[in-house]
Structure 1
Amino acid sequence: MNRTITQVVPTTFTYPVHFTEHLFGPGHSLLRDTLTGDRVAGDHAPRVLCVVDDGVLAAFPDLTSQIQNYFAAPSSPWLVAPPLTVPGGERCKSDPGLVERVHEAINAYGIDRHAYVVAVGGGAVLDMVGYAAATAHRGIRLVRVPTTVLSQNDSAVGVKNSVNAFGKKNWLGTFAPPHAVLNDRAFLTTLEDRDWLGGLSEALKVALLKDAAFFAWLEANAAALAARDRTAMDHAVYRCAELHLEHIAGSGDPFERGSSRPLDFGHWAAHKLESLSGYHLRHGEAVAVGIALDCTYAFLSGLLPEAEWRRALNVLKTLGL
């Protein structure tokens, strides 16, 4: 006799994406409020392990002390240890020893599913730390503090964590939504031009896919963005993040079980170009090349009018991509 039990597990994930400035300033309560929002009166302060991108520390040398002061308390400090520093950039995703280092810290300091890992850095560091957090105790609460345009407008607001393996980008990974994402615009002020501009390729990508009005805005404001206009960048980051979030929640396939991957527009070539260049090409720059390729193939195959093809390429040119 054949018998079957069909199990259905309905699950809803909710997490905020905040936009703010000077997150670790002494009078700024947003991060503390985020970590204590589901606690009841009388609960102890949550245990926090903080992991910081060394590139961010190079740009903000006082950040370690700011973080320690932010979490300090007379009787019970929130931080279990001084912030753990890890290398930034794609190298951190290709070194298994760094995942092990984060795992060792989670174990040594007793970080469990009621505690938090707070990751501060660019997209690669957030990916690596997110993968470590998601695979420790079957999932530790992760708070992402992205510090680049690309991580604030795309990678950090989603549900994916990953590292590289076998010479392939993002080969090991998890789908694990964060507890919260906190975008601090002040971190963008020290970015090199190529990182300021590179992240805008993701904004162009999602605009071409989903929002003609946003594409027209990018077209009209490309020169201002290239000139590092902060007000223009604020809007570009916010709208790009908003469109990514809408797609993740509303596409019907947030964990990418199907074959339709519209947000990978421009990425099929980008990931290969990154590895072929030894990661000299940064992700946003490679995505820009990939978008140009995809648009050009669409034009040559008769799927995209020449005028629209030229508009897309002209935005990339104006942005210096």
Structure 2
Amino acid sequence: MNRLSLTQEFSVPYKYEVFFTENLFEKENTLFKDFIVNFGNKDYQKKVLFVVDEFVAKSHKNLTSQIVAYFNHENFAELMPEILVLEGGENCKNDPRYYEEVIRAINEHGIDRHSFVACIGGGALLDMVGYAAGISHRGVKLIRIPTTVLSQNDSGVGVKNAVNYLGKKNFLGTFAPPVAVFNDMQFLESLGERDLRGGLAEAIKVALIKDIEFFKWIIAHIEELIAGNKRVMQEQIFRCAQLHLQHIASGDPFETGSARPLDFGHWAAHKLEYLSDFQIRHGEAVAIGICLDTLYSYLKGYISQKEAEGVVYLFQDLGFATFHSALAENDKINLFNGLNEFREHLGGQLTITLLEKIGKGFEVHEIDFDLMKKAVDLLEELSQ
């Protein structure tokens, strides 16, 4: 019997902008309105459904009324009368009721593929709402309005959406880029010290693996970053977001391979979040994970002891805890399980980013776990 085959090959261009602004929904700021009006068919009556992080709504008590007034001012699109206010944080990714609630609203308000879901919140809510939007009608248009340092400089500008399932971080998810991201610095003013600090872990991560000059800049501005200096924080967010966007566009944006350099330090971080019942937040867990993989890079002979310890001390100077007892429990078996789960999440082949030098990462496909145990012990020693 003759064998027949057909080959299909095509590419789909993706383009979205990350805007930097303040007071996005002040009537004088036309940035959001101009985007909606100029996106797609100008003759189409566009709908916008808003989903707002509960913490953000409480911290900015006039936000929902401000959004209504903004839309009423020029009547440039149809604002859905229901503004969903949902719990943020990791719990919204753990409980399926939350993404089901977003899907319900998308259905009831007739949000089709020419309309928008606009999410205002931290990284976890953006992840969850992006997942709900991505699986509704095979993908409705998502606008992200990140409200934390971590989401403005990292997760909010990327192409991934997810929820947690079966006890695994980001087990269900989509690669679905937003149509736009609006980084409003005003939202950062309501953040506590812990949330302001959390996003700096991702900035240090991308600097360590991609940009030595940015790493030096972070060290030079450490006191201003700790103090939450607005100008310095804005520059940090812009430079970090820029590096993330450059990476996404440079090779494998939908991660069809196994390489994930932007997940430097994340394999241990994801496991730590679960082991602590999410009492450790993502940025805090990433800080510990980076320290661990940095010390492992030293023990493997890639970087010097002084360089490795300098990274740990930098996180400590910024106020991060750099060790958690869950790393060492049961002869590090929990950590070993986390490594295997990360391997499975990647698709079978383990790919871990280590430091070839400060400012340059590289990938390995094997981990000497006995040496990793020594890295855990060394990290505990340095953290005391």
TM range (shorter): over 0.9
Residue by residue over 1:2-43, the C-alpha shift from the partner in whole angstroms, topping out at 9 and shown as x without a partner, is 1111101111100000010000111111111111213455x2
Residue by residue over 1:269-307, the C-alpha shift from the partner in whole angstroms, topping out at 9 and shown as x without a partner, is 000000100100000000000011011111122111122
Looking at structure 2, the residues matched to 178 and 261 of structure 1 have their Cα atoms a distance apart, in angstroms, of 20
Name stretches of at least 5 consecutive residues in structure 2 with no aligned partner: 321-384
Runs of 4+ in 1 over 6 A off after TM superposition: none
Query: Is 1:118 matched up with 2:118?
Result: yes
Looking at structure 2, the residues matched to 77 and 6 of structure 1 have their Cα atoms a distance apart, in angstroms, of 42
* Aligned partner letter, 1:302: G
Question: Where in structure 2 are the equivalents of 1:68-107 lying within 5 Å?
Answer: 68-72=68-72, 78-107=78-107
Q: Report the CA distance shift for 1:22/1:75 in structure 2 as closer, same or farther (over 3 A).
A: closer
Residue 14 of structure 2: aligned partner? 13
SS of 1:48's partner is strand
Asked whether the 8 Å contact 2:33–2:76 carries over to 1, the reply is: no
Asked whether the 8 Å contact 2:46–2:77 carries over to 1, the reply is: no
Residue by residue over 1:43-76, the C-alpha shift from the partner in whole angstroms, topping out at 9 and shown as x without a partner, is 2541110000001011101101011111125778
Aligned-pair identity (%): 52
Alignment TM-score, normalising by the size of structure 2: 0.81
Larger relative contact order (CA 8 Å, sep ≥ 6)? 1
Q: Report the CA distance shift for 1:77/1:179 in structure 2 as closer, same or farther (over 3 A).
A: closer
Asked whether the 8 Å contact 1:68–1:82 carries over to 2, the reply is: no
Looking at structure 2, the residues matched to 275 and 14 of structure 1 have their Cα atoms a distance apart, in angstroms, of 34
Looking at structure 2, the residues matched to 97 and 37 of structure 1 have their Cα atoms a distance apart, in angstroms, of 34
Looking at structure 1, the residues matched to 271 and 157 of structure 2 have their Cα atoms a distance apart, in angstroms, of 23
Looking at structure 2, the residues matched to 273 and 7 of structure 1 have their Cα atoms a distance apart, in angstroms, of 42
| Aligned length, in residue pairs | 319
Looking at structure 2, the residues matched to 232 and 73 of structure 1 have their Cα atoms a distance apart, in angstroms, of 34
SS of 2:181's partner is strand
Residue 274 of structure 1: aligned partner? 273
Asked whether the 8 Å contact 2:197–2:226 carries over to 1, the reply is: yes
Looking at structure 1, the residues matched to 73 and 41 of structure 2 have their Cα atoms a distance apart, in angstroms, of 18
Name stretches of at least 5 consecutive residues in structure 1 with no aligned partner: none
* Structure number, greater radius of gyration: 2
Residue by residue over 1:163-197, the C-alpha shift from the partner in whole angstroms, topping out at 9 and shown as x without a partner, is 00001110000000100000000100111101100
Question: Where in structure 2 are the equivalents of 1:196-275 lying within 5 Å?
Answer: 196-250=196-250, 252-275=251-274
Looking at structure 2, the residues matched to 238 and 74 of structure 1 have their Cα atoms a distance apart, in angstroms, of 30
Alignment TM-score, normalising by the size of structure 1: 0.97
Looking at structure 2, the residues matched to 87 and 271 of structure 1 have their Cα atoms a distance apart, in angstroms, of 21
SS of 2:295's partner is helix
Looking at structure 1, the residues matched to 317 and 160 of structure 2 have their Cα atoms a distance apart, in angstroms, of 31
